[in-house]
């Protein structure tokens, strides 16, 4: 995607290959291209971009999650594709509500890009997005039985209140 | 401009340099001792000049302090400065007897918690600390191990002293290798029984927690302690 | 004292990590059904792992059949903490992720924010950034060399590498104020110009380092023990590495000259002349040679950067983003107001999201920043190279002996701060 028109052409090509309405939106911001897609079509779209497109992308550079609270749909999974032949990047993102993420979720891309294994576990750990078809979807960083999804925006930061001289004698210490 | 040079004021030396002929005198006196030719007060004087007297506890503490063997316990960035302490020729922990980093907790004397203590890691550290044999000491190196540093969040234990008794806290993010060595020196003084009370001694003062008590319910009406 | 842990909640939590995947037939291996498989746990506290990495290894005798890394033992929640800090306050947080390549973390974040702000970085700042990043690359590779050689048994190299690393840290202390994690890179440039004498000292270091690298190579390159342990061991094909998303020296050792400094240049890397060392076979020995050669190339870049550094401002002159110089605060009212707003509230970034990737010593380090128009980022995520590279440990170590697994971890160069974040 060198420019915005190239992005539109790619979006149209994907729409023809995968299905109408699979690409919800195209964003071209500061010379970076992003496609906003439907969650259920993610696997087909990435497979098209890897194998069938005119301009192919062979490496999944990054898979990460994001929480757009308070804008709905809240949770998002971002895929950053990279083409080593042309030195170009393309971002694909899919946005889901919390209920969608926890029930149906997003199809896994581990079969296309094995690098997604750890990264999908991380997204599940921190955002609660389920990846269908992932063989071993469990928490990665937090302990196995941790409750809550830590990087959602409404999850509390944790820690403890900072003691200043004005509240030093009012705040109960952790041993009380 | 006239430059006056003065020799450095040093304390009187414990072992002044030997005068010529002294060695021969010592040899003759030693021979007399072995033959049983010295008596009574001369004997007492001789023994006192050649032998140091101390309690067993002090000797034990001296030995323990001068060879604290740390456990290899690097967690995060502070571990790199810790390895610089032991490895880099510039700041050498071997001078203080701490160059032998043991991997097994059973063989180590002290554990230097260098790095951030995550919630997941805390029980592991506790288990390793429990496996160490007495006497053991803990140096909490860096801001993260002492008090969670800048990470006031869900993932870190807010200070390692929540689950381990800590002897020395070394502040810094990361502390310079010299700071860690200073911490090891303070630990050595503590082991020998002369802990440096720091600002409490310098200002002859008490801390707020000592004046106000645990919950501060007894806080004086005026605010800061007088 | 009784050994704690048998009835405690931690033990129960440990048991929740099931070994079903190990006990079931292993995909992709030729293991006879009556093979005796034995699963051991390495770490998180272990003298050979570079940080708190826990490995569940399934062994058949001495041969490794499966390796599963379990991570999270130094998870600090940095990404979440960043959402609560102003943009310039995020820089020290983000520096502490991959704690050997601190300038790279800071640069990735600063570059992402500069792109969001559409801010131009003055050329002097770009050259200074390049010089510091390449020095950090050498420092990181030296530390890797020292600890890997220590793992493989060549203990002398640890002392030498740390000695040279001390020289680089002196340079960092001179310019940034601290050996590790100085907040030297800021959004828009660098926080302060280099002091007089830094350039001279840096060039002296470069000259000295060339002979030092010759000494390292003389000691290690044809060492029979190293050759036995590293040659032909841990070969992973280039396609498999690309599938696994592995970048950096690991990919270059297998033959692919993919380096973001050359392919998608950033921060005026296109002005410098340097080559990309590439391996042929893709075994551990190639990975070792590639990193040593990268150190030499970095020395070239530093020399060119320091000798050719242009004059000019060291940070952007846009007062809405960068602090004004202190002498102006006494005379200019606008400078005072800008200073006040920047320090208390911070600059605001218009809404948008950016993914910016650079070449760190371990591979592609990407930074994703989502801005929502306020002075605090809404999401900061680092695509850390060690995290992705860890996935190829399984391929590297399968079918090899335990000692090769240790060599594999050493050559993989994992930094747990980056893996766990």
Residue B107 to chain C, least CA–CA distance (Å): 14
Mean pLDDT on C230-242: 89
Beta strands in B145-225 (DSSP E): 168-170
Residue B216 has pLDDT above 50, yes or no: no
The three-state secondary structure class of B207 is: coil
Q: Where does residue C370 fall: left (phi above 0), alpha (psi -120 to 50 degrees), or beta otherwise?
A: beta
The pLDDT value recorded for residue C49 is 61
Please indicate if any CB of chain B lies within 8 Å of the CB of C83. no
Average pLDDT, chain C: 87
How many interface pairs between B and C have CB atoms less than 8 angstroms apart? 103
* Average pLDDT over all residues of chain A: 87
What does the pLDDT average to over B70-89?
A: 83
C273 CB burial (10 A radius; 0-12, 13-18, 19+): exposed
Position A162 confidence tier, pLDDT thresholds 50, 70, 90: confident
d(CA C95, CA C220): 32
Domain that holds residue B145: 63-193
At C9, is the pLDDT very low, low, confident or very high (cuts 50, 70, 90)?
low
Residue % of chain C over a pLDDT of 90: 49
CB contact under 8 A, C4 and B118: no
Segment C53-65 shows an average pLDDT of 87
What does the block give as tokens for A130?
């389920």
pLDDT at A60: 92
Model ipTM value: 0.91
Q: pLDDT tens across B116-152, in order?
A: 999 888 988 998 999 888 888 999 999 989 988 889 8
Q: What is the pLDDT of residue C307?
A: 92
Question: Domain for residue A143, yes or no?
Answer: no
Cross-chain residue pair A174–B119, CB shorter than 8 Å: no
Q: Which pLDDT tens digit goes with each residue over C343-357?
A: 998 889 999 999 999
Answer yes or no: is pLDDT of A129 > 50.
yes
Beta C185-186 vs C63-70: how paired, if at all? unpaired
The answer to whether C43 contacts chain B (CB < 8 Å) is no
Contact B103/C5, CB-based, under 8 Å? Answer: no
Of B204 and B174, the one with more pLDDT: B174
User: What is the number of domains present in chain B?
Assistant: 1
- Which domain covers residue A74, as residue numbers? 4-132
> What's the number of CA atoms in the CB half-sphere (13 Å) around residue A27?
16
Burial-class residue B138 by CB neighbours within 10 Å (0-12, 13-18, 19+).
buried
Does residue C258 belong to the interface with chain B, where contact is any CB pair within 8 Å? no
Q: Which residue in chain C is spatially nearest to B119 when comparing CA positions?
A: C73
Q: Is C416 on the interface with A (CB under 8 A)?
A: no
What CATH number does residue A20 fall under? 3.30.460.80
- pLDDT beyond 50 at C401: yes
pLDDT in tens, C288-331: 999 999 999 999 999 999 999 999 988 888 888 888 888 888 88
pLDDT tens profile A49-72: 888 878 888 899 999 999 998 888
For the segment C122-145, the average pLDDT, to the nearest whole number, is 94
Say whether pLDDT at B223 is over 80. Answer: no
pLDDT, position B33: 80
* CATH at B160: 3.40.50.12280
pLDDT score recorded for residue A126: 92
Q: pLDDT at residue B112 above 80?
A: yes
pLDDT tens digits along C270-292: 989 999 999 998 899 999 999 99
Question: A70: cis peptide before it, omega within 30°?
Answer: yes
- pLDDT of residue C5 exceeding 60, the answer is no
Mean pLDDT of A80-105: 89
Q: Where are the domains of chain C?
A: 9-70, 78-317+347-420
Query: Does A160 map to a domain?
Result: no
Strands C185-186 and C54-60, by their bridges, are unpaired
Confidence bin at B209 (pLDDT 50/70/90): low
Buried b (16+ CB within 10 A) or exposed e, C144-160: bbbbbbbbbebeebbeb
Interface test with A, best of C78, C117, C241, C245 (most A CBs within 10 A): C245
CB contacts < 8 A, A to C, total 103
Beta carbons within 10 angstroms of residue C93's beta carbon: 21
CB-based contacts of C197-205 (< 8 A; 24+ apart in sequence)? C198/C171, C198/C174, C199/C306, C199/C307, C199/C309, C201/C170, C201/C171, C201/C174, C202/C131, C202/C135, C202/C171, C202/C302, C202/C306, C203/C303, C203/C306, C203/C307, C205/C167, C205/C168, C205/C171
Contact list in B for residue A169 (CB cut-off 8 A) is 212, 215-217, 219
Residue at A166 is within a domain: no
A84:C256 CB<8 A: yes
Residues of B in contact with C45 (CB under 8 A): 73, 124, 128
- Under the banding of pLDDT at 50, 70 and 90, the label for residue C384 is very high
pLDDT at B221: 46
CATH of the domain spanning C78-317+347-420: 1.10.645.10
pTM score, whole prediction:
0.86
Out of C51, C92, C159, closest to residue B89 by CB: C159
Contact of A156 with chain B, judged by CB distance below 8 Å, is answered with yes
Which residue in C has a C-alpha nearest to residue B72's C-alpha?
Answer: C47
Beta carbons of A156 and B215 less than 8 Å apart: no
Distance between CA atoms of B97 and C403, rounded to whole angstroms?
A: 31
Helix (H) or strand (E) holding C315: none
pLDDT score of C3: 46
């Amino acid at each position: 995607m060198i420019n915005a028109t190239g992005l539109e052409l790619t979006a149209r090509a994907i729409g023809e290959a995968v299905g109408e309405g699979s690409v919800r939106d195209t964003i071209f911001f500061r010379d970076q291209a992003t496609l906003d897609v439907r969650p259920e079509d993610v696997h087909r779209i990435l497979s098209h971009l890897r194998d069938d497109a005119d301009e192919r992308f062979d490496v999944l550079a990054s898979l990460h999650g994001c929480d757009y609270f308070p804008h709905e749909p809240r949770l998002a999974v971002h895929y950053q594709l990279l083409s080593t032949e042309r030195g170009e990047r393309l971002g694909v993102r899919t946005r889901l509500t919390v209920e969608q993420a926890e029930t149906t979720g997003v199809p896994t891309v581990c079969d296309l890009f094995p690098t997604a294994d750890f990264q999908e576990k991380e997204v599940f750990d921190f955002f609660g997005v389920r990846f269908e078809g992932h063989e071993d979807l469990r928490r990665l960083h937090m302990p196995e039985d941790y409750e809550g999804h830590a990087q959602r925006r409404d999850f509390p930061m944790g820690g403890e209140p900072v003691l200043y001289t004005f509240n030093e004698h009012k705040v109960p210490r952790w041993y009380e | 401009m006239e430059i006056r040079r003065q020799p450095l004021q040093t304390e009187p030396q414990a072992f002044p340099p030997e005068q010529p002929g002294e060695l021969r005198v010592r040899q003759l006196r030693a021979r007399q001792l072995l033959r049983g030719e010295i008596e009574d007060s001369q004997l007492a004087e001789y023994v006192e000049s050649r032998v140091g007297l101390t309690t067993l506890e002090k000797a034990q503490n001296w030995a323990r302090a001068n060879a604290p063997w740390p456990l290899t316990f690097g967690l995060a960035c502070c571990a790199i400065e810790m390895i610089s302490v032991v490895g880099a020729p510039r700041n050498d922990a071997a001078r203080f007897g701490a160059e032998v980093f043991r991997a097994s907790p059973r063989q180590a004397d002290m554990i230097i918690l260098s790095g951030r203590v995550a919630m997941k890691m805390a029980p592991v550290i506790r288990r390793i600390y429990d496996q160490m044999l007495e006497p053991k000491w803990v140096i909490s190196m860096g801001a993260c191990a002492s008090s969670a540093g800048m990470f006031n969040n869900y993932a870190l234990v807010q200070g390692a002293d929540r689950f381990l008794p800590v002897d020395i806290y070394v502040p810094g993010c990361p502390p310079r290798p010299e700071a860690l060595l200073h911490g090891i020196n303070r630990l050595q003084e503590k082991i020998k029984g002369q802990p440096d009370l720091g600002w409490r001694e310098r200002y002859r003062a008490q801390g707020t927690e000592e004046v106000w008590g645990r919950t501060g319910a007894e806080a004086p009406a005026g605010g800061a302690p007088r | 004292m009784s050994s704690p842990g048998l009835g405690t909640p931690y033990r129960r939590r440990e048991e929740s990590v099931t070994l079903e995947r190990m006990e079931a037939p292993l995909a992709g291996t030729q293991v006879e059904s009556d093979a005796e498989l034995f699963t051991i746990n390495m770490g998180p506290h272990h003298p050979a792992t570079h940080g708190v990495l826990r490995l569940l290894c399934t062994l058949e005798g001495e041969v490794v059949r499966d390796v599963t890394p379990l991570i999270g033992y130094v998870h600090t929640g940095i990404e979440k903490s960043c959402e609560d800090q102003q943009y310039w306050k995020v820089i020290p947080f983000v520096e502490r992720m991959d704690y050997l390549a601190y300038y790279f973390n800071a640069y990735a974040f600063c570059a992402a924010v500069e792109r969001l702000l559409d801010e131009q970085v003055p050329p002097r700042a770009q050259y200074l950034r390049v010089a510091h990043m390449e020095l950090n690359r050498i420092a990181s590779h030296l530390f890797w060399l020292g600890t890997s050689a220590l793992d493989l048994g060549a203990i002398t190299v640890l002392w030498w590498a740390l000695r040279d690393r001390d020289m680089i840290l002196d340079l960092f202390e001179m310019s940034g104020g601290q050996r590790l994690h100085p907040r030297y890179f800021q959004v828009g440039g660098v926080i302060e110009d280099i002091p007089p004498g830094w350039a001279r000292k840096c060039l002296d270091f470069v000259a000295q380092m060339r002979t030092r690298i010759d000494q390292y190579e003389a000691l290690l390159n044809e060492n029979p023990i190293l050759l036995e342990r590293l040659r032909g061991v841990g070969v992973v094909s280039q396609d498999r590495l690309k599938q696994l998303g592995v970048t950096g020296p690991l990919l270059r050792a297998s033959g692919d000259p993919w380096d973001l400094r050359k392919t998608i240049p950033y921060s005026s890397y296109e002005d410098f002349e340097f080559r990309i060392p590439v391996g042929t076979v893709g075994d551990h020995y190639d990975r070792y040679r590639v990193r040593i050669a990268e150190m030499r190339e970095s020395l070239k870049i530093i020399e060119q950067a320091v000798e050719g550094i242009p004059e000019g401002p060291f940070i952007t002159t846009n007062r809405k983003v960068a602090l004004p110089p202190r002498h102006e605060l006494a005379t200019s009212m606008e400078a005072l107001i800008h200073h006040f707003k920047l320090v208390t509230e911070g600059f605001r970034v218009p809404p948008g999201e950016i993914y910016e990737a650079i070449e760190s010593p371990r591979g592609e380090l990407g930074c994703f920043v989502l801005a929502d128009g306020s002075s605090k980022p809404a999401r900061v995520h680092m695509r850390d190279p060690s995290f992705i590279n860890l996935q190829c440990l399984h391929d590297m170590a399968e079918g090899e002996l335990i000692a090769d697994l240790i060599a594999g971890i050493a050559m993989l160069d994992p930094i747990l701060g980056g893996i766990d974040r």
